[in-house]
Amino acid sequence: MRLLFRVVQQARRGTLLKTVGNFSTVSDVSGVHRDHGGKGDASTWLCGSSSHIEESVRNFVDVQVDFINEEEEGAFLKELDLSLKKKKYEFDHWDDAIHGFRETERVQWGAVCGAVIGRLRAHAFPQDDRLLGPVHVLDLDKAGYIKPHVDSVKFCGNTIAGISLLSDSIMRLVHVDEKTHWVDLLLPRRSLYVLRDEARYKFTHEILKDAESVFGGKHIPRHRRISIICRNLPE
Ligand code: OGA
Ligand code: MN
């Protein structure tokens, strides 16, 4: 398991979790479209550069608000506290995809967290999918953020699903070829997000730093954030 984890980590630092240039222009794009209606109530968490791009990305993303309750969030924090606290947040590597983070992985969970992981997997992945065994736990410092990247296609399959603990955040997806095509996902604390297919391959994803964390004109404070991420294996 240790080895597998290292392979995934290397993949992220290397070619697979591809960091993509300077995205400052994206936040300057005017004419932000707010979605009112469409499938479900995505208008509360989906906001993009046009209604067209929102509708097309909508088919490949899902956000489930309140996927876990406060007790379940507390159980994760308690289970992870010791292994996270042993590590220091890493800020130094400017070329890394992630700034201000520490991370771990876990295969075995206690009853409460294990049940949540089971629920996440049942929700996000078809039953016959081969899943990456270890769950990836990423702890972002308040000053930390995730730069635009695409997860390794060599080590991870078509679906990425994550639960956010401790803080709301904004996940931005930017089309890899058309940089003016983007959507922001509001990921509330205790929500689940799922990125699959086009959203996973054709768009970079990133988690905005506090100073840029704005959704629908409102600042969404970015505190320390821990994500619990499950992935499937490539076919
Ligand atoms: C990653 C990543 C997103 C998150 O670790 O590759 O994009 O929700 N994480 O933390
Ligand atoms: Mn990623």
Average pLDDT over residues 116-131: 97
Q: What is the pLDDT of residue 92?
A: 75
Q: For ligand 1, is residue 144 a contact (CB within 6 Å)?
A: no
Residue 187 has pLDDT above 90, yes or no: yes
C-beta separation of 194 from 158 below 8 A: no
How many Å lie between the centroid of ligand 2 and the Cα of residue 151?
Answer: 5
Residues 83 and 138: their CA atoms lie apart, in Å, by 12
Mean of pLDDT over the chain: 87
Region 3-11+44-231: CATH code: 2.60.120.590
Q: Is the CB of 157 under 6 A from ligand 1?
A: no
Position 40 scores a pLDDT of 62
pLDDT in tens, 153-172: 999 999 999 999 999 999 99
The 3-class secondary structure across the chain, one letter per residue, is CHHHHHHHHHHHHCCCCEECCCCHHHHHCCCCEECCCCCCCHHHCEEECCHHHHHHHHCCEEEECCCCCHHHHHHHHHHHHHHHHCCCCECCCCCCCEEEEEEEEECCCCHHHHHHHHHHHHHHCCCCCCECCCEEEEEEEEEEEEEEEECCCCCCCCEEEEEEECCCEEEEEEECCCCCCEEEEEECCCCEEEEECHHHHCEEEEECCHHHCEECCEECCCCCEEEEEEEECCC
143 CB-near residues (< 8 Å, 6+ apart): 91, 100, 209, 210
More confident position, 40 or 165: 165
> How do the domains of the chain map onto residue ranges?
3-11+44-231
**Residues in a beta bridge with 163:** 192, 228
d(Cα 87, Cα 64) in Å, to the nearest integer? 30
Q: Is the pLDDT of residue 133 over 60?
A: yes
Residue 150: pLDDT above 50? Answer: yes
Is the Cβ atom of 100 under 6 angstroms away from ligand 1?
no
In the predicted structure, residue 147 carries a pLDDT above the cut 50: yes
Q: What is the mean pLDDT of residues 197-226?
A: 98
What is the residue with the minimal CA distance to atom 10 of ligand 1? Answer: 227
pLDDT of residue 41: 79
Contacts of 216 (CB under 8 A, 6+ apart): 34, 47, 186
- Checking if the pLDDT of 30 tops 90, the result is no
- Please report which confidence band the pLDDT of residue 36 belongs to, taking 50, 70 and 90 as the band edges: very low
Q: Does the pLDDT value for residue 8 go beyond 90?
A: no
Arithmetic mean of pLDDT, 222-232:
98
Single pTM value for the model: 0.87
| Residue minimizing CA distance to atom 6 of ligand 1 | 151
Q: pLDDT confidence of 151, banded at 50, 70, 90?
A: very high
pLDDT of residue 95: 72
Rounded distance between C-alpha atoms, residue 65 and residue 189, angstroms: 8
The pLDDT tens digits for 53-82 are 999 999 999 999 999 999 999 999 999 999
Residue 111 pLDDT > 90, yes or no?
yes
Q: Does ligand 1 come within 6 angstroms of the Cβ of 227?
A: yes
